[in-house]
Structure 1
Amino acid sequence: MEVIDLSRITPDLTPLIGGKAAGLGALIAAGERVPAGFCLTTQAYRAGAIPEDAVLTAYRALGGGPVAVRSSATAEDLPGASFAGQQDTVLGVEGETALLDAIRQCWASLGNERAVAYRAGQGLQDAELAMAVVVQEMITPSAAGVMFTANPLTGTRTETVIDAVPGLGTGVVDGTMDTDHYVLPARGPVPADQHHGCLSPGQLDALRAAGHRVQSALGSPQDIEFAYDARGTLWLLQSRAITTLFPLPAGNDPDDPRIYMEVGHMQGLRRPVTPMGISVLRETTRRWFQLIGVDDAAVDPFLVDIGGRLFMDLTGFVRSPRLHDRVPEMVKVYGPAVARGVRRILDDPRYAPRPAAPGRRAFSRRATARLLLAVLPASLFGALCALARPAAARERAFRELERVRHQPRTDPTDAVSRIRSAAGLQDATMTGPMMRSLPPLWAALFAQGVAGWLLRGVVRPGELNATLRGMPHNVTTQMDLKLWSVAEAARPHRELLLGTAPDELAARFLRGELPEFGLAGFLAEYGIRGSAEIDVGSPRWADDPTPVFAALAGYLQVSDPDQAPPARFARAAAEAEAALADLTDRARRVRPVRGRIARSLLRRSRELAGLRELPKFLWLTPLAEVRRELLAAGADLAGRGILDQPDDILFLTLDEALGAAGGADLRAVVGGRRREHDRETRRRQVPGLLLSDGTNPQALPDERAAEHGPDVLVGQPAATGVATGPVRIVHHPSEARLQPGDILVAPTTDPGWTPLFLTLGGLITETGSPIAHGPTVAREYGIPAIICVPEATTRLTEGQVVTIDGATGLVRMHGAEEPDGAENEGGLKANP
């Protein structure tokens, strides 16, 4: 079938007709007015020749007049990629020769530079791509443009956005004309302030109604091209899904709007969490609440899965008469943009203070009291003991680590027992050793906070953070320095390790084909770590050591002994001690008593704050056991033909996995979730705040950015220091190709990223908190760090030279070459 009439198109023909033609077929099937036309299918493209007789016969049947010729690629207008404007459209084509030339032009556009780059950015392969071509009667419009049935900038699903111009709509889609812009509410009369431009209120109302119909028929918000002809008749020319919208939370109640805050980035979870990862986290939290006597129904507000990311429901806090005005300050730890977004929401009448609805209160007063009684007394006592005897507190904390490492392992024998065992493997650690390891951290935070209060009026921006450099007793720092020792032992194999891709080195290592230089021992101790490591669906270094080899490659390029990580760490510690002494000496000259107390507290903080990473490290041991048991159960189910492969179990929940073990065929469920997970993995921006109608309150620009000009990005200070160097944008540690002195730009970081820090000039992330793992380790290495820089991975470019100031949170962009004399604070010259 080489030529098919648009009215005969059905959804199953998409591989033959491409996404654009499929969208037109859906519009026709929904009863919308679409210009008549036909589709030259991908069969002709694959054959390499235009079937001229069939094409010209179809063209003559349209009357032989002017037509629009549009590309319709098989990867176009799909759920994960719109391809808007990437391939060619030719308008006003008249005549048989001109039609054939226009078809050839559309075919050729599949390989144009912008389309190739777009496919690469979407992770799409070229091998199976093909081009269909749509030919339609040309509408001569009085006005035309584009309608979005949801606001594409803010994500709001209750707004329709329309841009239109008189005449042809090409000026809208290619951005060459000023447009008449309309934003309409979901229902009700067209607002008076929208009565302007080339479209009348009646036409706007008709467009909005058509958009609602199309969205309902096609099942998702749509990007629709339209035209009004000279008679005022509305024609729909194209419709495709708006692929950039973040998913809505499940179970929305329009009469009870909610506000959600993304919290996973605090643990380095920027990519989507696997369904099993979310299920295990929910089960762990639920069982922990049960063990301390709190109703496990309180779990749901704390772990809301939206688009595979972890959100917390803030609605109860925002609507609380007691907490309403304090919420922005409460959420500042999640980033300044989140706090600003919450401030905007406070004025929304939907979130005005009011009593909690029945069943919506996260904790009853009784449950809250029970929780505090279970946790608070022991925590306070432990924190006081840690302040009194920090060395003894550290010893106790590390004994808890050894206790966890040597816990007896279970050995279930079948899939059901393995899955049930996995559900409870974390109980003993979460309620015992992990809780007992936290008080020294509370003590360190208390000491730091009180010292800051005592030093107010004396301390300058960034000085308090400077006292946290080179912090001892941190398990993540110790891990990274041990990896440096592995790199030192691997120097005889430098050529091999630098000349081979990290993923190939990882494969050879797992096959036992690499020389021994200490990596096996390192992984025996730290193989439970990895990026996004609290997701049991995420590979550990023991499973895939690619990120470790990427880090080793960076270490092996350090040739200056002064820039070796142990030397940099020691220098950071010395700088911290000097900063502490200088700060408290100044304070003692002004306020002697306060200065002495502050010095004592800051020294206590330095003795204890390195334990920041220990509770999570404790947790990773049983979490790795959970993953091991689940994959073993998955292997059992795959061997029985219930799953296709062992790691399919990671795309089920715990309850579903038990169902599969009982014989339920969930392979279709797994396939759908894998596809959705892959799509969400490609998403670059995740809202820090999300309303239940899809609105992203942070979509408005940061007013601070305008104060500094277009060459400055504004973030949140996280680790003091100034560094200049070339940008290296990395979305996953395994992709890193870093040189000493580079400025790492990443969506987020967690301990799985920290081996890369040892040779960096500085760090920039799009999310984070000053107390999160990445910034904590950056401070300890003396690396300047700025977090919460909106869209840093897209606004900065690979190789661009920037200067970052970790005390002010400013990123100054210089261009492609390093400014004369630019040098990092630590003496490491930036590499342009």
Structure 2
Amino acid sequence: MDVLKLSTINSGQRELVGGKADGLAALIRLGERVPDGFCVTTEAYGRGEVPRAAVLSAYRRLGGGRVAVRSSATAEDLPDASFAGQQDTFLAVEGDDEVLTAIRACWDSLHTGRVSAYREAAGIAHDTVRMAVVVQRMVDAEVAGVLFTADPLTGSRSASVVDAAPGPGTAVVDGEVEADHYVLDGTAPEERGCLAPNRLKELRAVGERLQRGLCAPQDAEWAYDREGTLWLLQSRPITTLFPAPPASRKPGPRLYVEFGHVQGMLQPVTPMGMSTLKGLLADMLASFGMSVDIVDIGGRLYGDLTDTMRDPSRRQRLVTLMAVDFGPRAQAVVEHLLDDPRFAPEQRARRRGTATSAAGLKAVAGVLGTLARPAAARTRVFGAIEHLRRQPVTDPSTAAELLPLVEAAEQPDTGPRTITWPVVTGLLVAATLPPLLQGIASDDEIRTVLGGMPHNVTIEMDLALWQVARRAAPHRELLLRASPDELATAHLAGGLPDFGLAAFLDTYGLRCAAEIDVGVPRWSENPAPVFAILANYLRSTDPHQSPDRRFERAAVRAEAMLAELTRRARRTRRVRGRLAGFLLRRARELSGLREAGKFAGLYALRDRRRRLLLIGAELQARGLLDDADDVRFLTLPELRTAVDGGDPRETVAVRRSAYLRELRRPTVPVALLSDGTDAETLLTARTSDGRTLIGVGASTGRISGRARVVHDPAHARVEPGEILVAPTSDPGWTPLFLTAGGLVTETGAVTAHGPTVAREYGIPAVICVRGATERIRTGQMITVDGTTGTVTLDEPGAADTTRAP
């Protein structure tokens, strides 16, 4: 089957006709007006010879004359990879030989350098792709362009966007002209440019039909011919849109804020990890008096804050809580939307039951008790963690016996309440310092007090790994020569000398990057990231810059600043001074506990993951899974079905593909409106001087050095003194800070893991720098100023306008 009319192509023939022909056939089936044409199929491409007779016969049935000859690869117009403009198109082709030559040229364009690079970036294997070719009548276009059924810049599904110019649409899609730009939001379009209001209304109506009929926002090419008839030339999914929030039964619009960026996790959560995290986050927010619906959007966890924003008694307090729970970028969005009439406060009757009152009394008692006796509170916290570490756990021998234990622990406890209130108290005390010391201390000086913080389990972990590196010094050549994966394999097989790594993993092996997801392997399972970090440490030869000394210097500076701020506060007002001194001291005694709650919760996640892997191993042995770890792509009900004999492999394959696709997503919105709008696009843009990126200062100091852009800490190499530039940072990233001279991240909060550790090591840090990993190159000289919250590049024009809180 070498040639098919477009109107005869059925759904499900994509592998035969390619993406473009498949999309055009779908438009025809919807009843849309599409230029007549035919497809030279992938079967002809597979044989390598253009089927001359069949092509010319189909060309003559079109009436000959001018046609468009366009590529239609099987990996084209995909939901996550459009290949827009990558493969060749030839317009106004006329004559038998010319048509045949153009088809051959389309075939040849499948393997150009740019197309191969695009496939590699999209994770598509070269040997899986084949090329079909579409031949269609040319439209003599009076005006043409592109229609997006959702706004590709803001993500809004409530607006359509049209770019148009006189003549054929190639001038618009190739960027050769300054097109007229229209945003259609349902209001009456104005009379301007090359499109009259009636045509804009027609295009918006067509877009609504396409989005409804094809079940996804569309990027469509169109043309009006000289008689004023509208033709659709192509339609494909908009690949750059972040998924929209699920429909809510509550009145809109709604505001959803993402949790991962402040936790140092931008990668998607596995399906098995999602239900666990929903429960944990809801419990955490409840401790702050917030009842929040947690939803899955694009594999990330978002909280619906709309009800709190519309609550007259809680909406102003929300801004303060945002700094603790979500970070400055989300905080800026909330501050902006509090003035939006759509989120105006609503008067409603509030019921205060005895349960709420009792919970409030417990919270007050927990906080006051911690403030009164911080040392005793710390003892209880670390005692509870040690109890969790030593608690014996036994596992049944079969999947049928293991599964009920996993189901019973669908929302694992984060640890005893003896941990909760000391952690919460430390966060609250740190949050009270800026308003209490307003006019007395700068934010930079307060951050200095919070540096070199004791009692932080993540800092203790990093320093413990530094000691392992010192003990490993005699084996330096081996650890630098072999790859982290080779070393990890040797360690697990017992083939490496003992330099303390086994003891380290016994305590901290339950950690990893993105550790809050039960679907992610722990360091104890795969210690390759630990070996990569050890290699970084072994390259550090300056004893003055050793992590333990840097931590000590930060602690000395913090104590000196604490004394200075206490003196200043007492000079203004004695009572205020005494309170300031008390809270500053309590901040240093308690804020380091921030990591303790999360660390305690990892024990339950460790046990849950181990049992899931045991179930997965049995299913693998039964031929129901290809790998034991595939259980992470199932939900608990689906796992129950598999244990009972159902075959989950097709579900796993689909979920794995979606997960890998989301792993490649370069950016994740920190806040979304219910129509899909990226809420940060509503903020006023702050313009830089072309060399300065604007963020939020998170750790005091100023340093210039070469940048090291890192997207994954697992195999990262950071030379001593380099400035680490990363999309995010959670505890699995923090060991890299020990050799870094500074830190720049795209996300985070001043109280989050990365900035906290940066302060405690005394390295300058700027967070919430949007697009930092794209705008900064490895090896580029940059200056990080943690006081002003800026990153300055050494080359003019390398930075541009950025949105920041």
TM-score of the aligned structures, taking structure 1 as reference length: 0.89
Q: Secondary structure at the match of 1:127?
A: helix
Q: Which runs of 5+ in 2 are unaligned?
A: 799-805
**Structure 1 residue 526, shift from structure 2 partner:** 0.9
Q: Give the distance between the partners of 1:810 and 1:497, measured in 2 at CA.
A: 36
Q: Deviations over 1:112-162 (max 9, x none)?
A: 343333333323332322322222111110000000111111111121111
Choose the corresponding residue for 2:188, options 188, 191, 216: 191
1:238, CA displacement in angstroms? 0.6
Structure-1 separation of matches of 2:339 and 2:77? 38
Q: Which amino acid aligns with 2:706?
A: P
Q: Give the one of 260, 263, 281 matched to 2:259.
A: 263
Per-residue deviation, 1:529: 0.1
Tell whether 2:723 aligns with 1:743: yes
The one-letter code matched in structure 1 to 2:588 is R
| Cα distance in 1, alignment partners of residues 584 and 337 from structure 2 | 38
- Offset at residue 543 of structure 1 (A): 1.7
Q: Deviations over 1:527-569 (max 9, x none)?
A: 1001111111111111222221221221122122222222222
Of 212-221 and 54-63, more deviation after overlay is shown by: 54-63
Deviations 1:277-317 (A, max 9, x none): 11123455789999x9x9xxx97x34211111111111101
State the alpha-carbon separation in 2 of the partners of residues 762 and 578 from structure 1. 22
Matching of residue 404 in structure 1 with residue 388 in structure 2: yes
Q: CA deviation at 1:241?
A: 0.2
CA contact (8 A) 1:249 1:306 kept: yes
| CA shift for structure 1 position 191 | 0.9
Q: Hey, what's the Cα distance between the residues in 2 that align with 1:580 and 1:328?
A: 26
Q: What is the one-letter code of the residue matched to 1:191?
A: A
State how many pairs are aligned. 796
Q: SS state of the match for residue 744, structure 2?
A: strand
Deviations along 1:379-432, one digit per CA (max 9) or x if unpaired, are 42233221xxx3x43333221111111223132233243222124459895462
Q: Indicate the residue corresponding to 1:805 in structure 2.
A: 785
* RMSD after superposition: 3.0
The 2-side partners of 1:315 and 1:41 are apart by 51
1:795 aligns with 2:779: no
Q: Which moved more, 1:104-113 or 1:225-234?
A: 104-113
What amino acid is the match of 2:377?
A
Which of 297, 303, 310 is matched with 1:312 structurally? Answer: 303
Instruction: Give the conservation status (yes or no) of the 8 Å contact 2:570–2:577.
Output: yes
Aligned partner of 1:382 among 346, 356, 370? 370
Q: How do residues 550-561 of structure 1 correspond to structure 2 at under 5 angstroms?
A: 550-561=532-543
Indicate the larger mover: 617-626 or 576-585. Answer: 576-585
Letter in 2 for 1:174: D
Counterpart code for 1:57: S
Q: Does 1:675 align with 2:657?
A: yes
> What is aligned with 1:437?
419
Q: Is the 8 A contact 1:280 1:654 kept in 2?
A: no
SS at match of 2:126: coil
Q: Shift in Å at residue 451 of structure 1?
A: 5.3
1:766 matched residue in structure 2: 746
Farther-moved stretch of structure 1 (519-528 vs 334-343): 334-343
What is the distance in 1 between the residues matched to 2:546 and 2:122? 38
- Residue aligning to 2:405: 421
Change (3 A) 1:439 1:816: same
User: Retained in 1: the 8 A contact 2:333–2:683?
Assistant: no
1:574-602, Cα deviation, whole Å (9 max, x unpaired): 33334334444555566677556644543
1-structure distance, mates of 2:372, 2:274:
35
Please, which of 329, 339, 342 is the counterpart of residue 350 of structure 1?
A: 342
Letter in 2 for 1:280: T
Distance 1:42 1:207, change over 3 A: same
- Identity of counterpart residues, as a percentage? 52
Amino acid at match of 2:188: P
> Residues 453 and 64 of structure 1: is their aligned pair in 2 closer, same or farther, counting only changes over 3 Å?
closer
Q: Which string of whole-angstrom CA distances, capped at 9 and with x for unpartnered residues, describes residues 439-485 of structure 1?
A: 44445445545555554323234111112222222211111112122
1:280 maps to what in 2?
Answer: 276
Are 2:279 and 2:411, in contact at CA under 8 Å, matched by a contact in 1? no
Cα distance, 1:30 vs. partner? 1.6
Question: How far did 1:32 drift?
Answer: 1.3
1:67 aligns with 2:67: yes
Q: Structure 2: which amino acid aligns with 1:270?
A: L
The superposition leaves residues 317-355 of structure 1 with CA deviations (integer Å, 9 ceiling, x where unpaired) of: 122233445544442442333233234434544333224
Aligned: 1:687 with 2:669: yes
- Go from structure 1 to structure 2 and tell me whether the alpha carbon gap of 1:35 and 1:425 turns closer, same or farther (over 3 Å shift): closer
The alpha-carbon distance between structure 1 residues 815 and 559, as it changes in their structure 2 partners (threshold 3 A), is farther
Q: For the residues of structure 1 that align with 2:284 and 2:444, how far apart are their CA atoms?
A: 38
Q: Matches of 1:549 and 1:701 in 2, distance apart?
A: 42
SS at match of 1:530: coil
Q: 1:628 aligns with which of 610, 625, 633?
A: 610
SS across alignment from 2:779? coil
Does the C-alpha gap of structure 1 residues 327 and 453 become closer, same or farther in structure 2, counting only changes over 3 Å?
closer
Q: CA separation in 2, counterparts of 1:428 and 1:546?
A: 27
Q: CA offset at residue 254 of structure 1? A: 8.7
> Quick check: 1:208 aligned with 2:212?
no
Rounded Cα–Cα distance in structure 1 between residues aligned with 2:197 and 2:121 = 40
Other-structure match for 2:587: 605
Give the match for residue 331 of structure 1.
322
Structure 1 runs of 4+ aligned residues shifted over 6 Å read 285-290
Contact kept in structure 1, 2:278 and 2:301, CA below 8 Å: no
Match of 2:802 in 1: none
Distance 1:451 1:226, change over 3 A: closer
Contact 1:284 1:426 in 2 (8 A): no
Report SS of the residue matched to 2:228: coil
Distance 1:337 1:402, change over 3 A: closer
The Cα offsets for residues 349-394 of structure 1, whole Å up to 9 and x where unpaired, read as: 433322469xxx9x965553243244432342233221xxx3x433
Matched AA of 1:796:
I
The equivalences for 1:297-308 within 5 A come to 301-308=292-299
Contact preservation (8 Å) 1:727, 1:745: yes
Change (3 A) 1:495 1:133: farther
Alpha-carbon distance in structure 1 between the residues aligned to 2:738 and 2:666: 26
For 2:235 and 2:337, the matched residues in 1 are separated by: 33
* AA partner of residue 781 (structure 1): Y
Distance 1:105 1:270 in 2: 41
Residues 718 and 787 of structure 1 are in contact (CA less than 8 Å); yes or no, is this contact kept in structure 2?
yes
Cα distance between partner residues in 1 of 2:450 and 2:257: 29
2: distance between equivalents of 1:136 and 1:493?
Answer: 67
Which shows bigger deviation, 118-127 or 547-556? 118-127
Say yes or no: does 1:540 pair with 2:522. yes
User: Following the alignment from structure 1 to structure 2, what is the Cα–Cα distance between the partners of residues 69 and 503?
Assistant: 48
Q: Structure 1 residue 513: deviation in Å?
A: 4.0
Q: Helix, strand or coil: the match of 1:517? A: coil
CA drift of 1:618 comes to 1.3
Give the Cα separation in 2 of the matches to 1:31 and 1:525: 64
CA distance in 1, matches of 2:617, 2:669: 36
Residues 44 and 366 of structure 1, relative CA distance in 2, 3 Å threshold: farther
Letter in 1 for 2:225: D
What are structure 1's unaligned runs of at least 5 residues? 819-832
Paired amino acid for 2:772: A
> Which residues of 2 match residues 131-150 of structure 1 at below 5 A?
131-150=131-150
Q: What SS class does the counterpart of residue 12 from structure 1 fall into?
A: coil
Q: Matched residues in 2 for 1:272 and 1:139: separation?
A: 44
* Partner SS state of residue 732, structure 2: helix
Contact 2:282/2:293 (<8 A) preserved: no
1 CA distance for matches of 2:282 and 2:307? 20
Instruction: State the 1:696 CA deviation.
Output: 1.6
Q: Structure 1 residue 175: deviation in Å? A: 1.7
C-alpha distance in 1 between matches for 2:428 and 2:211:
53
Q: Aligned residue for 2:801? A: none
Task: Verify the 8 A CA contact 1:412 1:421 in the aligned structure 2.
Answer: no
- Give the letter aligned to residue 384 of structure 1: A
